[in-house]
Structure 1
């Protein structure tokens, strides 16, 4: 079967098409014929090799070739002996630890959910990582309540634009940061206020403290150290005493000295079927819409173009890889 693999670290041209064996299933896994996937920030950091220079390097494989990709949407072809919730022919979406840019992907049963015919594979392939991260940040780690005030950084990005929608649907007052050309887009998602953090100091603009800050912005002062960094210091200044600071980038924030009783959390999304099913319901009702910035074919050239696009501005939402293209 075909896989698009990283054969060295660096520019997108290092991605090549390879022939690899179809995965062998364990008893708890499902074989999914991949129809769509997407690009996430961790894919970009891995492809460039930047993540291997960070303190998080031991969490990722360094032996080449590496098949990138976390999101998968497609059709179930086979199931392991202990799988009870899926059968061949089911349309599904879910997450793998890494390696979804392949014709067939082995996925743990609990890391999948059935998707309805009303959702395209492209919509479903764009959703898993960003929607799950936003969902767990708000409701598991943030314990968001109606009428609370929340600041969502990178409100036009993959995770951020999902978080803005979910927080607003739940009755929160949503403040977001985004570049000025994305303000109308983010307000259209439901944000009550939007600030361009590259042009104004949001910590001065926000006059009433927020209950929660959710930070998914790739601040250069955070990526290399895992510390809250320059953006983090401003985040602390706008959170009320005893509030919550959630980050998916500042991976040492849990050990950071406690400030004014603020509960600080770094987390990785934890795939599970129940959360995915909740996300699918929201998508089915159009209370969560994953914006697709661009779609590219599942070829080495298509992935090259997709990764090039991911480095350009302006951008919003997700870049999708689809077998329906090309």
Structure 2
């Protein structure tokens, strides 16, 4: 089968096509023919080598060729003897290890869910990582309640735009930060207020009132990637949190080392795929309560990946970039 991997760190042109054996599946695994995948920020940091130079780089073992990608949408072609929820021919989406830019992948049953009939493979491929991250940030870690106020940094990005929709649907008052040209997009997702912190970074005085939760999805710069701390940006975020509030970050891996401030709970986390949460995401997409914005589509080829990763390096970012076999 065809698989597209990187030959080294650096520019996106390090992608090459390889011929691999179809993966063997274990008892509780599903063999999925991949129709579409997507790019997440972590893929870019791995591709460039920046992530391995950071303090968390020791968590990754890289041997070339290395296969990027964690989101997958496709059709089940085989199931292990212990699989209970899927059969050949099912349309599924989820998260995989070992790369997704390939014709077929082996995925644990618990990391997949059904794609609703009204959702395309492309939208399904864009959803798993960002929607699952948003869901777990809001409800598992944030314990979001109706009527609470939440500030979501990076509201136009993958996780941010999903979190706005979910928080609004569950009755929160949503404030988002975004670049000025994305304000209309973010307000259309359901945000009650939007702030351009890029041109006016001191957003404390611009909020109508303090917030219960800050969800920080904004990408770190090189300095912050080295320390794992959001710096001045984080100080402003603490300033607008209520006593006993929650500061949840998916980028600042060192945030738990911040000194305790006014009993604020500081947390960094990565999404952990599980079928129960993925089923919730699928249901919300089916019911139109969560719409994943696909901003760019590229063919599932080496050249397509070149172009997709070049685009992902640019600003502004909005929603997700998808690689699809249906182009």
Shorter chain as denominator, the TM-score bin is over 0.9
Task: Please list, as runs of the form range in 1=range in 2, the aligned pairs for 1:153-172 lying within 5 A after superposition.
Answer: 153-172=153-172
Cα deviation digits, residues 184-235 of structure 1 (max 9, x gap): 0000000011111111121221241100000011132422111232211111
Matches of 1:322 and 1:166, distance apart in 2? 26
Q: 2:313 aligns with which of 302, 311, 314?
A: 311
Matches of 2:159 and 2:31, distance apart in 1? 27
Question: Unpaired segments of 5 or more residues in structure 2?
Answer: none
Tell me the number of residue pairs that the alignment of Structure 1 and Structure 2 aligns.
325
In structure 2, the CA distance between the partners of 1:297 and 1:281, relative to structure 1 (3 Å rule), is: same
TM (norm. structure 1) is 0.98
What is the CA-CA distance between 1:254 and the residue it aligns to?
A: 2.1
Matches of 1:76 and 1:59, distance apart in 2? 30
Matches of 1:38 and 1:189, distance apart in 2? 21
Q: 2:293 aligns with which of 284, 291, 294?
A: 291
Alignment match, 1:211: 212
Matches of 2:123 and 2:143, distance apart in 1? 27
Matches of 2:245 and 2:76, distance apart in 1? 43
Alignment match, 2:240: 238
Matches of 1:223 and 1:202, distance apart in 2? 22
Alignment match, 2:47: 47
Matches of 1:143 and 1:62, distance apart in 2? 36
Whether 2:20 is the aligned partner of 1:20: answer: yes
Matches of 1:231 and 1:222, distance apart in 2? 10
Q: Is the 8 A contact 1:246 1:266 kept in 2?
A: yes
In structure 2, the CA distance between the partners of 1:116 and 1:207, relative to structure 1 (3 Å rule), is: closer
Matches of 2:280 and 2:321, distance apart in 1? 23
In structure 2, the CA distance between the partners of 1:270 and 1:305, relative to structure 1 (3 Å rule), is: same
Cα deviation digits, residues 254-313 of structure 1 (max 9, x gap): 232211100111111010001111101111111100000011001000000001111223
Matches of 2:32 and 2:279, distance apart in 1? 17
Matches of 2:84 and 2:288, distance apart in 1? 29
Q: Is the 8 A contact 2:116 2:285 kept in 1?
A: no
Task: Please list, as runs of the form range in 1=range in 2, the aligned pairs for 1:1-326 lying within 5 A after superposition.
Answer: 1-200=1-200, 201-220=202-221, 221-325=223-327
Q: Is the 8 A contact 1:219 1:229 kept in 2?
A: no
Matches of 2:288 and 2:190, distance apart in 1? 13
TM (norm. structure 2) is 0.97
Cα deviation digits, residues 120-160 of structure 1 (max 9, x gap): 10010000000000000000000000110000000000000
What is the CA-CA distance between 1:99 and the residue it aligns to?
A: 0.3
Q: Is the 8 A contact 2:79 2:88 kept in 1?
A: yes
Question: Unpaired segments of 5 or more residues in structure 1?
Answer: none
Matches of 1:110 and 1:65, distance apart in 2? 27
What is the CA-CA distance between 1:182 and the residue it aligns to?
A: 0.2
